[in-house]
Amino acid sequence: MTDNDTDHRPLTLLGLGDMGTALARTWLAAGHPLTVWNRTPAKAGALAAEGAAVAATPAAAVAANTLVVLCLLDDTSIGSVLEGIDLTGKDLVNLTTGTAAEGRARAAWAEERGARFVDAGIMATPTMIGAPEAGGYVFYSGSRALFDTHRTTLEVPADARYVGEDPGHAALHDVALLSAMYGLFAGISHAYALIEGEDIAPKDLAPLLSEWLGAMGFFVGNAAERLTSRDFTTGVVSSLAMQVAASGTLLRTAADQGVSPELLVPYLDLMRERLDADPAAHGAEDTVGALTLLRRRTAPGR
């Protein structure tokens, strides 16, 4: 049976924090029979009034349905909540944020216990759940058979994007996007710090920043192409040599404005390191080549 055979497949949800509660409401509103459990039972009260069945224990919640969705704080809480519970024949969908390694280990753990497993990464806040117009979605990876069986149910809270059989890949997509976001936040924070105390209102800089960052969005596709072709020089219009030379202006301006360069320095240092390694070879590249230095900097297992 696939999910398409019924519009109202029953399911269990473990974890009624802000995210779990938002998820639960969408399934209830869509008419799915829902069994819930939460460590702090009081949080289930409102959902019971909305039609959820409240299980007294995680074991009872898991026993109630084949499809079991987890939305707990972290991977450690999953281990403690599901410890000793019979998972034979269950379809576990883990919406708890974790690392790729945790996703893979949890998939192996579930398989050993006779369950199918899909890991996920939620690209949405609780207010974006059940609100398709907000643009949130969820990455899924792991058992394709599980995902295909339950896809319609999983798409009730937010759009579902399946990214492959490797159970670590949903988390990796999630963390890649979040990491890029923090880099962006860092740059924006530095920009606002530079004008603080000047006769430039943040609200006047805001549209200029948005426009500039939008124009610089070309870097996403450009980097992908160059990382695939390993050609870092063809068609370069802003060379690494020029950008490293110009970076002094950014650092001097930060010093003049009394702003710490700490959010800016790591990327500038990476560009300089790439250039210094072989100025003749790398000077004509763009900055994408510098990215190749990152992997060896990461300690094994991190």
Say how far apart CA 121 and CA 172 lie, in whole Å: 8
Q: Does residue 55 interact with ligand NDP by CB under 6 A? A: no
Say how far apart CA 10 and CA 91 lie, in whole Å: 12
Q: Does residue 25 interact with ligand NDP by CB under 6 A? A: no
Say how far apart CA 60 and CA 49 lie, in whole Å: 19
Q: Does residue 66 interact with ligand NDP by CB under 6 A? A: no
- Residue 82: CB atoms within 10 Å: 24
Classify 167 in phi/psi space as left (phi over 0), alpha (psi -120 to 50) or beta. alpha
Query: What residues from 30 to 49 belong to the interface with ligand NDP (CB under 6 A)?
Result: 38-40, 43
Say how far apart CA 273 and CA 267 lie, in whole Å: 10
Going from the C-alpha of 118 to that of each of 71, 142, 266, 278, the distances in angstroms are 13, 5, 36, 45
Q: Does residue 104 interact with ligand NDP by CB under 6 A? A: no
Give the interface segment with ligand NDP, choosing from 28-36, 46-54, 66-74, 201-209 (CB under 6 A). Answer: 66-74
Give the interface segment with ligand NDP, choosing from 12-20, 48-56, 204-212, 262-270 (CB under 6 A). Answer: 12-20
Report in angstroms how near the CB of residue 17 gets to ligand NDP at its nearest.
2
Is 40 or 229 the residue whose CB approaches ligand NDP more closely? Answer: 40
Is 126 or 289 the residue whose CB approaches ligand NDP more closely? Answer: 126
Which residues make Cβ contacts (< 8 Å) with residue 215, sequence separation at least 6? none
Give the interface segment with ligand NDP, choosing from 70-78, 103-111, 148-156, 249-257 (CB under 6 A). Answer: 70-78
Give the interface segment with ligand NDP, choosing from 13-21, 29-37, 232-240, 281-289 (CB under 6 A). Answer: 13-21
Q: Does residue 251 interact with ligand NDP by CB under 6 A? A: no
Query: What residues from 223 to 242 belong to the interface with ligand NDP (CB under 6 A)?
Result: none
Report in angstroms how near the CB of residue 63 gets to ligand NDP at its nearest.
18
Say how far apart CA 87 and CA 55 lie, in whole Å: 16
Q: Does residue 57 interact with ligand NDP by CB under 6 A? A: no
CB 32 within 8 Å of CB 8: yes
Q: Does residue 26 interact with ligand NDP by CB under 6 A? A: no
Query: What residues from 124 to 183 belong to the interface with ligand NDP (CB under 6 A)?
Result: 125-126
Bridge-partner residues for 142, per DSSP? 118
**From candidates 65, 66, 97, 152, binder to ligand NDP by CB under 6 A:** 97
Say how far apart CA 195 and CA 264 lie, in whole Å: 15
Question: String of b and e for 207-220 (b: at least 16 CB within 10 Å)?
Answer: eeeeeeeeeeeeee
Secondary structure (DSSP) of 198-227: SS--HHHHHHHHHHHHHHTTHHHHHHHHHH
Report in angstroms how near the CB of residue 165 gets to ligand NDP at its nearest.
22
Q: Does residue 12 interact with ligand NDP by CB under 6 A? A: no
Interface with ligand NDP by CB under 6 A: which residues? Answer: 15-20, 38-40, 43, 71-74, 77, 80-81, 96-97, 122, 125-126
